[in-house]
A and B are shown apart, each in its own frame.
Chain A
Amino acid sequence: MLSKTQIAQRIAQELQNGWYVNLGIGIPTLVANYIPKGIEVEFQSENGILGMGPFPIEGTEDADLINAGKQTITALPGAVYFDSATSFAMIRGQHVQLTVLGGMEVSETGDIANWKIPGKMVKGMGGAMDLVASADNIIVAMMHTNRAGESKLLKKCSLPLTGVACVKKIVTNLAVLEIVEAGFKLIERAPGVSVEEIKNATEGNLIIDGEIPEMVL
Chain B
Amino acid sequence: MNKKVANAEEACKGIENGMTLMLGGFGLCGIPENSISELVNLNVKELTCISNNAGVDDFGLGLLLQKKQIKKMISSYVGENDEFERQMLSGELEVDLIPQGSLAERCRAGGAGIPAFFTPAGYGTEVAEGKEVREFNGKPHILESALTADFAIVKAWKGDTAGNLVFKGTARNFNPMMAMAGTITIAEVEELVEPGELNPNEIHTAGIFVQRIFQGTGYEKRIEQRTVRPKN
A interface size (C-beta, 8 A): 54
B29 contacts across to A, CB distance below 8 A: 47, 63-64, 66, 70
Residues in B whose Cβ lies below 8 Å from that of A61: 223, 226-228
- Interchain nearest-CB distance for A167 vs B (Å): 13
B127 contacts the other chain (CB 8 A)? yes
Partner of B173, one of A47, A133, A165: A47
A88-B100, A122-B85, A124-B78 as given contacts; A70 in contact with B176, CB under 8 Å: no
State the CA gap A65–B222 with chains docked (Å). Answer: 12
Nearest A-chain residue to B225, judged by Cβ? A71
List CB contacts (< 8 Å) of A72-125 with chain B: 72-73, 75, 81-85, 87-88, 91-92, 111, 119, 122-125
Query: Known contacts A81-B172, A122-B89; is A72 also within 8 Å of B221 by CB?
Result: no
Shortest B25–chain A CB gap in Å is 10
Does chain A have a CB within 8 A of B76? yes
The CA-CA distance from A58 to B197 in the complex, in Å, is 34
Apart from A122-B85, A130-B102: 4 A-B pairs, beta carbons within 8 A? A55-B228, A71-B225, A129-B121, A160-B125
22 contacts between A and B (CB under 8 A): A46-B101, A58-B228, A58-B229, A63-B29, A64-B157, A64-B170, A66-B26, A66-B29, A72-B228, A73-B227, A81-B170, A84-B173, A85-B105, A92-B101, A119-B89, A124-B77, A125-B97, A126-B77, A126-B99, A127-B101, A129-B121, A162-B125
Minimum CB–CB distance for A72 against chain B, Å = 5
Closest beta carbon of chain B to A118's beta carbon, Å: 10
- Interface size class, chain B: 35 or more
- A69 interfacial contact with B, CB 8 Å: yes
Are B108 and A124 interface neighbours, CB within 8 A? no
Interface status of A163 (Cβ within 8 A of chain B): yes
Chain B residues with Cβ below 8 Å from A70 are 26-29, 80, 224-225
Chain A residues with Cβ below 8 Å from B50 are none
Q: Residue on A with the closest CB to B97?
A: A124
With most chain A CB atoms within 10 A of its CB, the pick from B30, B95, B223, B227 is B227
Q: Is A57 an interface residue (CB 8 A)?
A: yes
State the total of A-B contacts with C-beta under 8 angstroms. Answer: 186
Is the beta-carbon distance between B80 and A85 smaller than 8 angstroms? no
Is B124 in contact with chain A by the CB < 8 A criterion? yes
Q: Which residue of B29, B123, B204 has the most chain A CB atoms within 10 A of its CB atom? A: B29
Is A57 a contact partner of B173 (Cβ separation < 8 A)?
no
CB distance from B166 to the nearest CB of A (A): 11
CA distance A36 to B230 in the complex (A): 24
Q: Scoring B residues 110 to 125 as 1 if CB is less than 8 Å from chain A, else 0, what string do you get?
A: 0000000001111111
Is residue A201 contacting chain B, with contact meaning CB distance below 8 A? no
A30 interface hit (Cβ, 8 Å) = no
Q: Is A6 an interface residue (CB 8 A)?
A: no
Asked whether A129 lies within 8 Å of B127 as measured between CB atoms, the reply is yes
The reply to whether A91 and B101 form a contact with Cβ atoms under 8 Å apart is yes
B174 part of interface (Cβ distance < 8 Å):
yes
Which B residue's beta carbon lies closest to that of A49? Answer: B170
A171–B108 Cα distance when bound, in Å, is 36
Tell me whether B107 is interfacial, beta carbon within 8 Å. yes
B75 touches A124 (CB 8 A): yes
B169 interface residue per 8 A CB criterion: yes
Q: Does A56 contact B (CB under 8 A)?
A: yes
Q: Is residue A149 within 8 Å, beta carbon to beta carbon, of the partner chain?
A: no
Q: Is the CB of B229 within 8 A of A134?
A: no
In the complex, whether A59 has a CB less than 8 A from a CB of chain B is: yes
Chain A residue, CB-CB nearest to B139:
A133
